[in-house]
Chain A
Amino acid sequence: AQSVTQLDSQVPVFEEAPVELRCNYSSSVSVYLFWYVQYPNQGLQLLLKYLSGSTLVKGINGFEAEFNKSQTSFHLRKPSVHISDTAEYFCAVSDPSGGSYIPTFGRGTSLIVHP
């Protein structure tokens, strides 16, 4: 079974600074990768996903992520964060070779943007 590791439980950053949220997954032949965001008092919302093709994926709100197969990573980046980006971010992986498309989630990383 797949597993997802989000090494950072909390990432504090100042407004307008760049940020990277790290995500690693256990290896497999081919996987689908996702980043979800949960803003305070809201449900999880899909930020972006990697299915195939270009390893650089662009999502909503200026976020992007890069799939690195050799390092089994899918780190999320934003060049300049806003206060409104304060939220919890979840990385997820789906491994269809196991017969299921249902995503497995990591523990989440809390992004805290300071003014």
Chain B
Amino acid sequence: EAGVTQFPSHSVIEKGQTVTLRCDPISGHDNLYWYRRVMGKEIKFLLHFVKESKQDESGMPNNRFLAERTGGTYSTLKVQPAELEDSGVYFCASSQGIGPGNTIYFGEGSWLTVV
């Protein structure tokens, strides 16, 4: 069974440019999460989809970030325009249900460097 896959694994862009990160959750997982880790800091929650609906987007830092999950399958996270402080690792995760009995599976992360 394929795990959570993320693309690209690494991206270097200039300040002001746009980057789109993609996440393919485990097949059948309705819940999809985005997290971000800035170097040396905690992994911070960004948002949570249930199928195609945004259940919780309280962690989105500002309106330069746009997440979508059309059709309830894969998700994209777009940063436009990128700023230096957006650099970090963006993790995607998925789970079948919600609640502690449901394990959240993480992808390997997309490393974003804004120069």
A-to-B contact residues, CB < 8 Å: 4, 9, 32, 36, 41-46, 49, 51, 90, 94, 96, 100-108
Task: List the 7 closest pairs (A to B, CB-CB), nearest first.
Answer: A44-B106, A105-B43, A43-B106, A32-B100, A43-B108, A107-B42, A51-B100
Given A9-B40, A43-B109, A107-B41, A101-B99 contact (CB < 8 Å): yes
- Nearest residue (CB) in A for B100 is A32
Total interface residues on B, CB under 8 Å, equals 26
- Chain B contacts of A104 at CB under 8 A? 42, 45
- Chain A contacts of B98 at CB under 8 A? 101
Given A41-B108, A43-B91, A43-B108, A102-B56 contact (CB < 8 Å): yes
The 8 Å CB contact of B43, one of A9, A90, A94, A96, is A90
Given A43-B3, A43-B4, A44-B91, A103-B104 contact (CB < 8 Å): yes
- Nearest residue (CB) in A for B59 is A102
* B64: Cβ under 8 A from any A Cβ: no
* B107: Cβ under 8 A from any A Cβ: yes
Q: Return the CB mask of B31-74 against A: 1 if under 8 Å, else 0.
A: 00101010011111100100000001000000000000000000
Which residue of A41, A43, A106 has the most chain B CB atoms within 10 A of its CB atom? A43
Closest Cβ of chain A: how far from B110's Cβ, in Å?
A: 11
